[in-house]
Structure 1
Amino acid sequence: MLRSNAFSLLHSFKTPLQFSTRQSSRNFSSFRPNAFASFSKRPSLASFVSKNARTIFTDSSAVVARPSQQEGWKKFAITSATVAGAVVAVNVVLNRETRDGLTAAEQSYLHDSFKYTGGGLVLTAIAARSLFKSGFAFRVMSANPWLVLGVSLVGSIGTMMGAMYTSPENTVLKHTFWLGFNACQAATLSPLFFFAPAILSRAALYTCGVVGALSYVGATAKNDTYLYMGGPLLAGVTVVALSSIAPMALPLGMRGLAIAEAISLYGGLAVFSGFVLYDTQKILQHARMAQAGLIPADPIKESIGLELDMINIFVRLVQILAMQQGRKK
């Protein structure tokens, strides 16, 4: 289930720079060599930092023409209406047959899982921002990418497996692994703050809309409607992973690189959106099994899958928005 983003954040700046379960392969798909493809035409990290990003040592921003307050609210209203319309459309298309309602046990288990998901994302965002301000992101981009990738994989996989398979009764150790997992995610995601805040905020809004709509569909659909998607999604994430590493292993031309990039970006966005549906219904299935005494209730374990789904969707939306902004210039 480990779906971190270390390699994609390192290789994109041209520096010289999971695995026993279905969830392990889902993470590897985000180790993409072109995550910052929108900046690939810039000659160096130094010129990128000096011309296009805030300095890594301060929070100062480049002087740009800011839109008026009225224009800002207009754009916000249009964006909000678009997200709301997408939520309604997704619900109409995918959720034509709804269930009568969630039982109290299902509601409680789903709420607990989403609480840990939200808490983990908040901790990850705060830690990533702190690491960026401290200059950690710059040092990561300047380091040996293979070393960083190895350390990231070991740390992320270890903490993830510890959080997933530690008994829920061992509360302290389980929460320690969970905090460590979020810290590893923060370290690999901290270079995202090189992007403009407007791109990050839009990507976060879109991610909330996508995940909110799909999780609502999964929670209100009839039992096990989308659990059949596990196999196809595993195949899809394998294709996404291969397309992510293909430019490193194969002598692809420009057209081949463009195709691999599109599969990794848009294919990955579709695959991880499908995982939101699948994971939501899996949580409800586990809630029924826990109520029957077949398995222990473990919302932390359930939250990790959803958290990684959201991170992968967010990262891809950031890349897509950055590419669109680059074309407008």
Structure 2
Amino acid sequence: MASVFQRPFAITAALRQVPKASSTTIRAFHNTPLQASRNTFFTSTKSTGPVSLFAQSRNAFQSTFRRSYQQTAFQPTLNEGNLTQRLIYGGAIFGGTLIAINLIFNRETREDGGMPPYERSYLNETFLHTGLGIGIIGVAARALHMNGWSYRLMAANPWAVLGIGLVGSIGTMYGAMATAPENYVQKYTLWGAFNLTQAALLSPLMFYHPAILARAGLYTVGMMGSIAFVGATAKQEKYLYLGGPLLAGVAIVALSGLAPMVIPATAARTLMWSEKIWLYGGLAVFGGFTLYDVQKVLHHARMSERGLMKRDPVNESISLELDFINIFIRMVQILAMQNSRRK
């Protein structure tokens, strides 16, 4: 299963697209020193009356307590339309995607009378762990970003970050997957460490505007939800053959992600196509992995019911978490690029 490290510096490279004016979104409480005014309430010597005295005192009060609240980084391009229209558009996109995917990929539905209770229970437990893991990643990434971790991470040596990140992420992931489900303490400790490692690596995404992150999260949930619905209601083991082709697709996406490290900057057209393959090809590949992983969960549920393997929703959730992370990162980059073009 591919992880976020298929393109080592994707997050830092994408963050360069954020306008430098975003620094002005911070409230400036420390302005330049106030210049001494000759006509203040306390130094005025030629007051012509109560009106002049009141005007001078008001100016002194305003200049003393002045604060700069500048919000020039993100203009209302992100806030076009009201909330009702956005909800309608989002619902229409989600519903249309669900119908289209069903018509294309879900023509052969289950022939065993629907999903049995043990498959539904196993799938629900897997989705519960997936949502909990993504929540841990989001909260931890936000907390690390607020504590200045993102700045230190981006200022560190990229190769050191890549090496330590690979060791920490892959080590905790395989450690959690290799631990027996009966060993709750060790398994959930390693699973929590895996989520925290992902949060530490994804914390620089918090430099983006919250509206972009919210929209990317909504689109990712909609995309994965519709694909998961298709995988859960399709014919048994219909999409398990996708494992091999998807691995080949991941290899192509990974090579396109590494292209900027090999291809010179003068080959702009080649770099542009490699960027498109990384973004849109990655969306297609990890959308396919979501379909494959959901059907794999149902297959494992049937095997565990026969006693051929143990129930382990934690292991199943790790694959879906990686699918979510890879789709979410690409959604953020696409939305950020669209927002920069509108400006």
TM-score normalised over the length of structure 1: 0.85
CA drift at 1:48: 6.0
Residue 234 of structure 1 corresponds to which residue in structure 2?
Answer: 247
296, 300, 308: which one pairs with 1:282?
296
| 1:277–1:70 distance in 2 versus 1, CA, 3 Å | closer
Residue 263 of structure 1 corresponds to which residue in structure 2?
Answer: 277
Q: Distance in 2 between matches of 1:166 and 1:95?
A: 35
190, 195, 207: which one pairs with 1:194?
207
Q: Does 1:211 align with 2:236?
A: no
| 1:265–1:54 distance in 2 versus 1, CA, 3 Å | farther
Residue 98 of structure 1 corresponds to which residue in structure 2?
Answer: 109
Secondary structure at the aligned position of 2:82 is classed as helix
Q: Distance in 1 between matches of 2:245 and 2:26?
A: 41
**Letter aligned with residue 256 of structure 1:** T
Residue 98 of structure 2 corresponds to which residue in structure 1?
Answer: 87
324, 327, 341: which one pairs with 1:313?
327
Residue 116 of structure 1 corresponds to which residue in structure 2?
Answer: 129
Q: Distance in 2 between matches of 1:137 and 1:68?
A: 27
Gaps of 5+ in 1: 5-27
Q: Does 1:165 align with 2:142?
A: no
Q: Distance in 2 between matches of 1:34 and 1:190?
A: 10
Number of residue pairs the alignment of both structures matches: 297
Task: Give per-residue Cα distances to partners, 1:188-237, cap 9 Å, x unaligned.
Answer: 11111111111111111111110000001000001110000000000000
Indicate conservation of the 8 Å contact 1:227/1:281, yes or no.
yes
Q: Distance in 1 between matches of 2:17 and 2:340?
A: 11
Indicate conservation of the 8 Å contact 1:2/1:156, yes or no.
no
Identity %: 51
CA drift at 1:287: 0.6
Q: Which has the larger radius of gyration?
A: 2
Residue 31 of structure 1 corresponds to which residue in structure 2?
Answer: 8
CA drift at 1:246: 1.5
Residue 296 of structure 1 corresponds to which residue in structure 2?
Answer: 310
Q: CA RMSD in A?
A: 2.2
Q: Distance in 2 between matches of 1:68 and 1:320?
A: 17
| 1:48–1:162 distance in 2 versus 1, CA, 3 Å | farther
Residue 58 of structure 2 corresponds to which residue in structure 1?
Answer: none
| 1:90–1:151 distance in 2 versus 1, CA, 3 Å | same
TM-score normalised over the length of structure 2: 0.81
| 1:35–1:282 distance in 2 versus 1, CA, 3 Å | farther
Residue 30 of structure 2 corresponds to which residue in structure 1?
Answer: none
Q: Distance in 1 between matches of 2:307 and 2:281?
A: 38
CA drift at 1:32: 4.8
Q: Distance in 1 between matches of 2:70 and 2:309?
A: 51
| 1:232–1:32 distance in 2 versus 1, CA, 3 Å | farther
| 1:270–1:208 distance in 2 versus 1, CA, 3 Å | same
Q: Does 1:62 align with 2:39?
A: no
| 1:84–1:38 distance in 2 versus 1, CA, 3 Å | farther
Secondary structure at the aligned position of 1:139 is classed as helix
Indicate conservation of the 8 Å contact 2:109/2:235, yes or no.
yes
| 1:203–1:70 distance in 2 versus 1, CA, 3 Å | closer
CA drift at 1:312: 0.5
CA drift at 1:89: 1.5
Q: Distance in 2 between matches of 1:85 and 1:193?
A: 30
